[in-house]
Structures are given as structure tokens and as C-alpha cells.
Amino acid sequence: MSKEILSTNGEKLGEITLEKSVFGVEPNLHVMHLALRRQLNNARQGSACAKTRAEVSGGGKKPWKQKGTGRARAGSLRSPLFAGGGVVFGPKPRSYAFNMPQKARKLALKSALSAREAQLVVVKDFSTITEPKTKLMAEALKSLNVNGKVLVIADLQAAENQYLELAARNIPSVKLILPSNINVKDVLEADFVVITESAVNELTERLK
């Protein structure tokens, strides 16, 4: 399977053959769902915390005598029965993270890329953005005919892409990531995925 390689002006520069084992696999929904859950879970702080009756301050004195008042027995005002008392089975700091096998994580990425194959736009590089100007990035996106949420996968340290990050950061619908940081969530959320030729080769080498 092949894709056109475009310049950021929208001109056709040639073709690139996409590795079928990376960009043309049958998407595995279950593995993608697991990878997405893992990513969201691993991002959780897990810092919610409620105090038990042992941790709430006060409550050392018996509120009223044991017998003769007609009220129920009480040993502490910090019992869960009272306002200001402890919480029964409340949340405690914990990790929500879970792991996936390396092969399953690779399959999830390949499935996500394959599911987005129709919305994949391959560009040679972003060398036409010669200044850190938002206007130049907006013009490039218009020439490539992409809109909505756009994910750009490129090596931001490369000389030809040196102004890409500064030119794109004021456009809220554009997200930039390195090929090494590609993830299922960003790929699936995007309406279009714009990827440089070198990033395609890097991903193919890593995932095939």
C-alpha cells in the first residue's frame, strides 16, 4: 500500500510504500481498548484520601455517660455516625496503573495507525516553515486540506522542522508529538494525522 508524499504547500513530491504489517493490519478493538485504558489509568494521580476514625483529630473524651441518658451508647464523637467523624471505607492514595505485554502494546499502536490510514497525510518535512509564525502553519494545514483535530508526528529537533513547534503552539486544534511518543489515545482522537516521511520510516522500523 502506498501514499503520496506531499510538501506543506500541497504539491505531490512522490510516493511512499507503507508497511502493511504496521499501517494495514486488521484493527484489534480489544487490544486498543486495553491500551487506551492503560494510558488513562497510568495518568491518574490516585491521590484521593479520606480520614478514618483513627485519623480524625479529637474525639478522645466520651461524649456522654454510658447509662441513664436514654441515648445510644457513644465512646467518641469521631465515630462515622457523627458529623465530623471518620469515613468508613473511604478512598486512600493508590496507584491505578497496570501493565500490558510489549507485543500487545505494539499491536495496539499498529491497530490505531491502521484504523487512521484513510486520514493519514504524509509530508516530506516542514522546511517551508522558515519562521516561528502561526500564519505559516495555518497556511500549511490549509494546503494539506486537513481540519478539525490534527495530530502532527515529526522529529522536532531536526533542522528542517526547527520552527514547527513555535509555529504550531498557538493553534489549539494541533498537537505535536515525537515518533517515539506516539500513543493510541492521540492517534484515535485526531481527525487527521500528519506525519513526516522520516517519522514513517522510524515507526515502521520500530513496529514491524
pLDDT tops 80 at residue 34 = yes
**pLDDT at 114 (0 to 100):** 92
- Residues of the chain with pLDDT > 90, as a percent, come to 59
Tell whether the model's pLDDT for residue 112 goes beyond 90.
yes
Q: What is the pLDDT of residue 13?
A: 83
Q: Kindly state the average pLDDT of the residues 183-192.
A: 93
CATH superfamily of 2-44+101-207: Ribosomal protein L4/L1 (3.40.1370.10)
* Residue 1 pLDDT class (50, 70, 90 cuts): confident
Tell me the average pLDDT of the chain. Answer: 91
* Angstrom distances, CA of residue 152 to CA of 50, 52, 66, 116, 177: 42, 48, 71, 13, 6
For the chain, domain boundaries: 2-44+101-207, 45-95
Average pLDDT over residues 28-45: 95
Q: What is the pLDDT of residue 125?
A: 85
